[in-house]
Amino acid sequence: MIKIYNYGQVGEEEIFARVNPAANVEGAVADIIATVRQKGDAALYDYAARFDKVALTDLAVTQQEIDQAFAAVDADFAAVLREAAANIRAFHEKQVRNSFLLERQGGVIIGQKITAIEKVGLYVPGGTAAYPSTVLMDSIPAKIAGCEEIVMVTPPGKDGSVNPAILVAARIAGVDRIFKVGGAQAVAALAYGTESIPRVDKIVGPGNAYVAEAKKQVFGQVAIDMIAGPSEILVVADSTANPRFVAADMLSQAEHDKMASAVLVTDSRSLAQAVSEELERQLPLLPRAEIARESIERNGKIIVAEGDLMQAIHIANRIAPEHLELCVDNPFDYLDKVRNAGSIFMGKYCPEALGDYFAGPNHTLPTSGTARFSSPLSVDDFVKKTQFTYYTRDALA
């Protein structure tokens, strides 16, 4: 059962407590990185056998495997991926920045030129769920930016294959090369290069604690997007919200991971109780019910700020969630009041899952309160800004 708190009647440490994944993996990750640097491809084959339980004969995904993936997936699924890709492309094309120059008195010219990062590495998780949407969200902005090469790494299954949906998404998004390698060893390969995998200039994409730690350790050798924590959703809802919808949206994040957090902040005590009951009704219906239940019971909470929706917005700004839903009447009245959130979903008919998979805005978002100072992944993440200055002899005199 999810915990319900009355704001102002309990300590702030309970209201604003954060999920803190305890993962003491620094030493293990450092060893993996050092081994990949020393042994290259041989280390990747060894780690595939040890961690993924697969004996690979080649790291690269072939064109034949991509063709087979298209044959394996449902045609309607591929069509939806193409439509989602078009939405993502349309949104991110609006983010493109242009170079500029200013001509000053005496022939002085100053300016800024925009240059795409040359090679980008994309990490796509494997494990218990496949995320073709991550492929689209992380590679399409890089393509729009003009990156010359996008290299994708993703863990293979025990049969040595890559999930067909991942391969189809990669082809639709324009990924150039794909390799069957996951974990910290994949990050190390992208950062330092091996016989098969090219060294890149920036690594993006989510992963488990080992992947996050590896990105942290190679930062400086390469750029990274962010250190992603567990997934988060915070719903601000008033009495007009549908408790079935609110509960479903909270569970859509809870089923991602046992460490995910789902929070409702409402000015309505009756809605709080109705959502709590809906969570219990819907939980057993989920295919990942065990994961979702542990997430809800460990990290979920309902906060009642009775009769004060602006207090609910204040709480949301303090938490600075990855995903924020405004399930209220006239959500645009509150948009400017939101200072800290990764992505905002407006109104009662805009589920967070729509944004994660289809609408167009990016779903690689700041977590763990970093929305206070960080932004979603964008075209800006795949370009560099370089200043330039020109003076004439007369201007210098």
Residue 8: what residue type? G
375 is a domain residue? no
358-367: pLDDT as tens digits: 999 999 999 9
156 is a domain residue? yes
Q: Could you give the number of structural domains in the chain?
A: 2
Strands 223-224 and 149-154: unpaired
Q: In a 3-state reduction of DSSP, which class is residue 105?
A: helix
- Same domain as 73, residue 51: yes
Q: What is the dihedral of CA 292, 251, 183, 322, to 10 degrees?
A: -140
Half-sphere exposure of 187 (CA within 13 A, CB side): 32
Q: What residue numbers bound the domain in which 235 lies?
A: 3-20+229-365
- Same domain as 237, residue 182: no
96-118: pLDDT as tens digits: 999 999 999 999 999 999 999 99
User: Is 323 an annotated catalytic residue?
Assistant: yes
Q: Does residue 387 carry a pLDDT above 80? A: yes
379 is a domain residue? no
Catalytic residue among 213, 255, 278, 323: 323
- Same domain as 183, residue 250: no
Contact 356, 133 (CB under 8 A): yes
User: Is 92 an annotated catalytic residue?
Assistant: no
- Same domain as 234, residue 212: no
Q: Does residue 131 carry a pLDDT above 90? A: no
**N-term to C-term CA, the chain:** 76
- Same domain as 188, residue 70: yes
376 is a domain residue? no
**Considering 209, 224, 239, which residue would you say is the last residue of a domain?**
224
382 is a domain residue? no
**Considering 224, 247, 271, which residue would you say is the last residue of a domain?**
224
81 is a domain residue? yes
- Same domain as 237, residue 163: no
Query: Which two three-digit tokens encode residue 52?
Result: 């993924």
- Same domain as 247, residue 284: yes
246-255: pLDDT as tens digits: 999 999 999 9
pLDDT of residue 350: 96
302-347: pLDDT as tens digits: 999 988 899 999 999 999 999 999 999 999 999 999 999 999 999 9
Residue among 352, 324, 304, 316 at smallest CA distance from 6: 304
pLDDT class of 127 with cuts at 50, 70, 90: low
Q: In a 3-state reduction of DSSP, which class is residue 154?
A: strand
344-385: pLDDT as tens digits: 999 999 999 998 899 999 999 999 999 999 999 999 999 999
195-242: pLDDT as tens digits: 999 999 999 999 988 999 999 999 999 999 999 888 999 999 999 999
- Same domain as 191, residue 64: yes
Contact 363, 394 (CB under 8 A): no
Q: What is the mean pLDDT of the chain?
A: 95
**Considering 224, 244, 269, which residue would you say is the last residue of a domain?**
224
- Same domain as 311, residue 164: no
Q: Does residue 129 carry a pLDDT above 80? A: no
265 is a domain residue? yes
- Same domain as 172, residue 193: yes
pTM of the model: 0.93
Catalytic residue among 322, 325, 352, 363: 322
384 is a domain residue? no
- Same domain as 275, residue 154: no
Euclidean distance between CA atoms 218 and 124, whole angstroms: 17
CATH number at residue 253: 3.40.50.1980
Residue among 179, 184, 172, 187 at smallest CA distance from 139: 172
Contact 171, 205 (CB under 8 A): no
Contact 376, 388 (CB under 8 A): no
- Same domain as 220, residue 124: yes
pLDDT of residue 51: 93
Euclidean distance between CA atoms 324 and 343, whole angstroms: 6
